[in-house]
Structure 1
Amino acid sequence: MNWDDLKILLSLSRYGSTRKAAAQLGVSNTTVMRRLDGLEEALAGKLFDRTPDGFQATALAAELLPIAQGVEETLDEAERRLVGMDAQLTGGIKVSLPLWSAHPIYDALAKFSQQYPGIDLDISASDDHVDLARREADLAIRGMPKEKRPPKDIVGIKLMPISIGYYVHTNLLTEAAKGLRELTYIGSAPRHKQGELVTAGSLGLSGRHLFHSLMPRLMAVKHQLGVAVLPSMMAAEDPELLLLPNVPATHWGYIWVLHHKDLRQSARIRALFKHLSLLEKV
């Protein structure tokens, strides 16, 4: 048994599928299955039941998982500490952005790249939680509600406020005002409901569509499918999108830049963190 085998065990237990585990590990589905088969053969036992809902950990896997998690935490901490002691303005930085990010953030990253030619940026985009302790990213930019703060092991600073409102395409609003078309409401997935200001019913709108993430919801509004909650800075990039009349935007939270506390002595992490923090003053 080696660390590569334990990584397969951890990824399959977390994601429940070879496809997602392979994507997280940067290997092929075939490699995941080959290593899993080899590990099960070495242990003379079954680690996962293959079910229609994905891979389900067996009792044997449940016994091994705490050991694998302990090894992972030790290695992750060692890696963070090594990166944190790096005094060179060279190397790579893994940055996780939301699926949608404001233009000032991309402008800041472009200027940073010009200013520090020895530092390479490895950019990924997701609206999912990013585990900075496990170094899924060195630095993350995320929106958080105004009442929330980063966890105690995470260093963070607010970059800019986020306001949200109900937006509609100007053509759709005009048609509705003329009685040619009824405005309908585009709903969101349950985990995004906290971002909604008032209920669709109180707006006098009937719900029709459901879009489970931000970018599809933006495209739905742009293509005149209805009214939806959007960040104001996102909607402002399209002059044809307007706030629903008599429903003002409201302050929802802030965009934060975040990194694990163990990386605060890394010269390149510190340089990017400081560079992005200047957006706070813009």
Structure 2
Amino acid sequence: MFDWNDLKYFLAVARTGSTLAAARSLKVNQTTVARRIDALERGLGLTLFVRLPNGYRLTERGEATVALAEQVEQGASTLADTARGWNRTIAGTVRVTTTEILAIDVVAPLVAELRSQHPSLSIELIADDRRLDLSCGEVDVALRVGSCPEEPGIVRRRLATSVWALHCARSYAERHGLPGTIADLGRHEIVGGTGSLKELGPLVALRKAAPDAPIGIRCNSVPNLIAAVRSGMAIGPLPCWAAFEDDGLLRCPVPELEARSDIWLLYHESLRESPHVRLFREAVTARFEVVRHRFEGRSAPGVQAV
């Protein structure tokens, strides 16, 4: 069997008429070209060239072989061009899991932008507080809030710190004033948690700090919690991101009830070089570079801290 690579040397000699000229065009030495031509003829069992003092002349079989070799050359070129196109075209499905608030406020808008640039990219977004298994392939990427996971094989990147602080609606403050200390909370209605929010840290801390405060409403999800506080019916802890640029919300000056949790980007190391997963990871990381201060409650115009 002949070596496919020898066809490159064969075509170079056929086109230039000598091993010397072919060697120059291929940037190899003349001996290598002559050796590869000899090997090709042995592999095919054909004489492709007549060796003359002034160069190489194609035999009848050699001329026929040129046409066939050029087909192989064209096929290789087409394959290379196609591969480059595939590498430029990001395609595939990225399965992402995160919390509801991150899904709504960060991931969904980002997906819309990515899809406009990469129509063959598909995102499967799972908004769930459950910790789906990255190692078993339940999801490809996770955006999680809380402690850093320690599972082997998981790549971790801290994106930001999510700060929660006590907030109320401006309309609530106009009717009842603002608590200035923890001791003031007893005369205010507060939000309580139920269902999946029953053990939410900021809500539990609020209840412990104000055990005698009446509970105006109980919520079972973060979007419900945000809506309840915005409605003006009670005071409650909110992620600073949700209150950003919202003139209807006021941040209460009770720093003892502020809570901080890290936001992590996680994926399995086996997906490190996956083009579509890498594109999503890089886009999420870049987005958090822009919005990190909002999560951290810094320089948030529209949210009045008093």
The residue that corresponds to 1:174 in the other structure is 174
Aligned partner of residue 210 in structure 1, secondary structure: strand
Aligned partner of residue 129 in structure 2, secondary structure: coil
The residue that corresponds to 2:96 in the other structure is 95
Shift in Å, 1:137: 1.8
Distance 2:244 2:269 in 1: 35
| Contact 1:243–1:249 (8 Å) recurs in 2 | no
Aligned partner of residue 206 in structure 1, secondary structure: coil
**Pair 100,195 (structure 1): closer, same or farther in 2 beyond 3 Å:** same
Aligned partner of residue 192 in structure 1, secondary structure: coil
The residue that corresponds to 2:142 in the other structure is 140
Distance 2:150 2:115 in 1: 27
Aligned partner of residue 100 in structure 1, secondary structure: helix
**Pair 159,241 (structure 1): closer, same or farther in 2 beyond 3 Å:** same
Distance 1:280 1:141 in 2: 11
Instruction: Give the count of matched residue pairs.
Output: 192
Shift in Å, 1:186: 1.0
The residue that corresponds to 1:194 in the other structure is 201
Which structure 2 residues correspond to residues 208-219 of structure 1 after superposition, within 5 A? 208=215, 209-219=217-227
Distance 2:237 2:275 in 1: 39
Q: Taking structure 1 as the reference length, what is the TM-score of the superposition? A: 0.58
> Percent identity at matched positions?
19
Matched, 1:119 2:121: yes
Distance 1:201 1:96 in 2: 31
Q: Taking structure 2 as the reference length, what is the TM-score of the superposition? A: 0.54
The residue that corresponds to 2:264 in the other structure is 256
Shift in Å, 1:154: 1.8
What CA deviation, in whole Å up to 9, does each residue of 1:237-277 have, x standing for no partner? 53211112444773512222222222223121122112212
Match of 2:213 among 193, 199, 206: 206
Structure with higher Rg: it is: 2
Q: Which amino acid aligns with 2:90?
A: L
| Contact 2:192–2:203 (8 Å) recurs in 1 | no
Distance 1:154 1:207 in 2: 44
The residue that corresponds to 2:250 in the other structure is 242
| Contact 1:99–1:125 (8 Å) recurs in 2 | yes
| Contact 1:163–1:251 (8 Å) recurs in 2 | yes
Which structure 2 residues correspond to residues 43-62 of structure 1 after superposition, within 5 A? none
What CA deviation, in whole Å up to 9, does each residue of 1:4-27 have, x standing for no partner? xxxxxxxxxxxxxxxxxxxxxxxx
**Pair 123,202 (structure 1): closer, same or farther in 2 beyond 3 Å:** closer
Distance 2:177 2:191 in 1: 19
Shift in Å, 1:195: 3.2
Q: Which amino acid aligns with 1:144?
A: G
Distance 2:249 2:158 in 1: 27
Distance 2:169 2:153 in 1: 42
Which structure 2 residues correspond to residues 225-240 of structure 1 after superposition, within 5 A? 225-240=233-248
| Contact 2:206–2:257 (8 Å) recurs in 1 | no
For the aligned residue pairs, the C-alpha RMSD in angstroms reads 3.0
Q: Which amino acid aligns with 2:144?
A: R
The residue that corresponds to 2:48 in the other structure is none
Aligned partner of residue 276 in structure 1, secondary structure: helix
Shift in Å, 1:144: 1.6
> Structure 1: where are the runs of 5+ without partners?
1-85
| Contact 2:165–2:255 (8 Å) recurs in 1 | yes
Bigger share in helix: 2
The residue that corresponds to 2:280 in the other structure is 272
Distance 1:280 1:151 in 2: 24
The residue that corresponds to 2:162 in the other structure is 162
| Contact 2:170–2:248 (8 Å) recurs in 1 | yes
Distance 1:95 1:226 in 2: 34
Which structure 2 residues correspond to residues 8-47 of structure 1 after superposition, within 5 A? none
